[in-house]
């Protein structure tokens, strides 16, 4: 299984409708602060959009809704792992991506036989307050040596300019959030990302 090297993360299906036509092939929907009904509607709409554009959709956190809606991928943070029913996810045939920040979290993540592991934040990020300081490029190389063939995602403060360093260090995929959503021209930025990662 090969993942596209460019992995943007958006908080609504509106972003997907706007940017998937440009050629994005791997995307995460990270819905926050919505009612359960709104969240389900966003996930359902995102699934339809991704099917239309032959894009792999990863649902952040809402694993039960992902099962209910017949999604193929779920991404969980370490705290989400405490509550998630991993056997149910596996039984539903859902592939699993897991966040990691330190060695204990990596060991825990690998015990679930994930389909990818994310390491972050590689650089300082404005997206969310984190107890983890920037991990740095060298940690990508270390993580890759520990996880072998499991795909490694570099996330946190990533930009096109920083992507090459992450790939050179061993990342299989680079994830971007605010580099796109806070850009004055998100469409142009996505085109540049696609050019840089294909």
**125: pLDDT confidence band, cut at 50, 70 and 90?**
confident
Domains of the chain: 6-197 (3.20.20.70)
Euclidean distance between CA atoms 124 and 136, whole angstroms = 9
State the pLDDT at residue 134: 79
| Residue-wise pLDDT tens digits, 145-190 | 999 999 999 999 999 999 999 999 999 999 999 999 999 999 999 9
Euclidean distance between CA atoms 90 and 98, whole angstroms = 14
Euclidean distance between CA atoms 100 and 114, whole angstroms = 11
Residues 30-34: contacts with CB within 8 Å, 24+ apart?
30/60, 30/61, 31/60, 31/61, 31/62
CA atoms in the 13 A half-sphere facing the CB of 9? 22
Q: Angle at Cα 138 formed by Cα 186 and Cα 140, nearest 5°?
A: 60
Query: Which residues are CB-contacts of 178 (< 8 A; sequence separation ≥ 6)?
Result: 125, 126, 127
Beta-sheet pairing, 173-176 with 152-154: parallel
Query: Which residues are CB-contacts of 36 (< 8 A; sequence separation ≥ 6)?
Result: 65
Percent of the chain with pLDDT over 70: 96
| DSSP helix/strand/coil, 25 | coil
| Residue-wise pLDDT tens digits, 13-58 | 999 999 999 999 999 999 999 999 999 999 999 999 999 999 999 9
Continuous segment of H or E residues that includes residue 15:
helix 13-19
């Amino acid at each position: 299984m090969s993942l596209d090297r460019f992995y943007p993360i958006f908080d609504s299906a509106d972003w997907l409708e706007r940017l998937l036509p440009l050629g994005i092939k791997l995307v995460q929907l990270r819905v926050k602060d919505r009612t359960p009904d709104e969240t389900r509607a966003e996930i359902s709409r995102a699934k339809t959009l991704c099917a239309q554009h032959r894009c792999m959709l990863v649902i952040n956190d809402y694993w039960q809704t992902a099962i209910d809606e017949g999604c193929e991928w779920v991404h969980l943070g370490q705290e989400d792992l405490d509550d998630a029913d991993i056997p149910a996810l596996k039984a539903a045939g859902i592939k699993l991506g897991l966040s990691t920040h330190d060695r204990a979290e990596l060991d825990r993540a690998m015990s679930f036989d994930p389909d990818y592991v994310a390491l972050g934040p590689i650089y300082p990020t404005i997206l969310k307050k984190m107890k983890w300081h920037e991990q740095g490029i060298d940690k990508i190389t270390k993580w890759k040596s520990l996880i072998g063939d499991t795909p490694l995602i570099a996330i946190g403060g990533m930009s096109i300019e920083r992507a090459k360093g992450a790939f050179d260090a061993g990342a299989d995929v680079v994830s971007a959030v605010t580099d796109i959503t806070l850009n004055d021209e998100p469409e142009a930025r996505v085109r540049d990302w696609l050019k840089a990662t294909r």
